[in-house]
Amino acid sequence: MKLHLTINGKARTLEIAPNALLLDVLRAAGCKSVKKGCGEGSCGACAVLINGRPRNSCLVFAAQCEGADILTVEGMGTPEHPHPLQEAFIKHGATQCGYCNPGSLIAAKALLDRNPSPTVEDVKEALDGNLCRCTGYVKRIEAVLDAASLGKK
């Protein structure tokens, strides 16, 4: 079946199986930041924004995204021009292995898009579904608050 959607600002038409997961379709379309972690929506490694809302792509059938606007980390910034949240994660040492970074960045962006001045509790709640086994969470919270203090989302 054909799927029409926008991925990182570019209109796309993709041929998909009716039971294809969004996670697999995005990876096949070149979005390698979307990671397969747990496969059951518990770790956040596959998080993307669908029409501005964070969702675990391992739980979404691609066919449900007909006409949707999808944002992955590839659409946030580039190595030459990183997104302010990406810069803040680096500045605060909130990255190590990097596996969970994309999902955490997506969750942070969704938070700052709806609440540009979050509290520590707001950030904790927004990042709650994103597991990190390397850095822990304090540095990520500091990074999101720093990006927010600069008025960048």
User: CA angle, 26 as apex, 15 and 37 as ends, to 5°?
Assistant: 135
Q: Tell me what pLDDT residue 144 has.
A: 96
- Do 108 and 127 meet the contact criterion of CB atoms below 8 Å apart? yes
Q: How far apart are CA 46 and CA 127, in angstroms?
A: 13
Residue whose entry in the numeric block shows the structure tokens 């390698």: 32
- The CATH-assigned architecture of domain 84-149 is Orthogonal Bundle (1.10)
Q: How far apart are CA 34 and CA 20, in angstroms?
A: 15
- Residue boundaries of the structural domains of the chain: 2-72, 84-149
Q: Tell me what pLDDT residue 20 has.
A: 98
Task: Give, for all 153 residues of the chain, the pLDDT tens digit.
Answer: 999 999 999 999 999 999 999 999 999 999 999 999 999 999 999 999 999 999 999 999 999 999 999 999 999 999 999 999 999 999 999 988 888 899 999 999 999 999 999 999 999 999 999 988 887 789 999 999 999 998 755
- Do 116 and 122 meet the contact criterion of CB atoms below 8 Å apart? no
Helix (H) or strand (E) holding 6: strand 2-7
Q: Tell me what pLDDT residue 153 has.
A: 58
Q: Tell me what pLDDT residue 152 has.
A: 59
Fold match flag (2-72 vs 84-149): no
Q: Is the dihedral of CA 109, 114, 119, 120 positive or negative?
A: negative
Q: Tell me what pLDDT residue 33 has.
A: 95
Query: CA torsion angle for 79, 66, 4, 71 (degrees, to 10)?
Result: -10
Q: Report the topology of domain 2-72.
A: Ubiquitin-like (UB roll) (3.10.20)
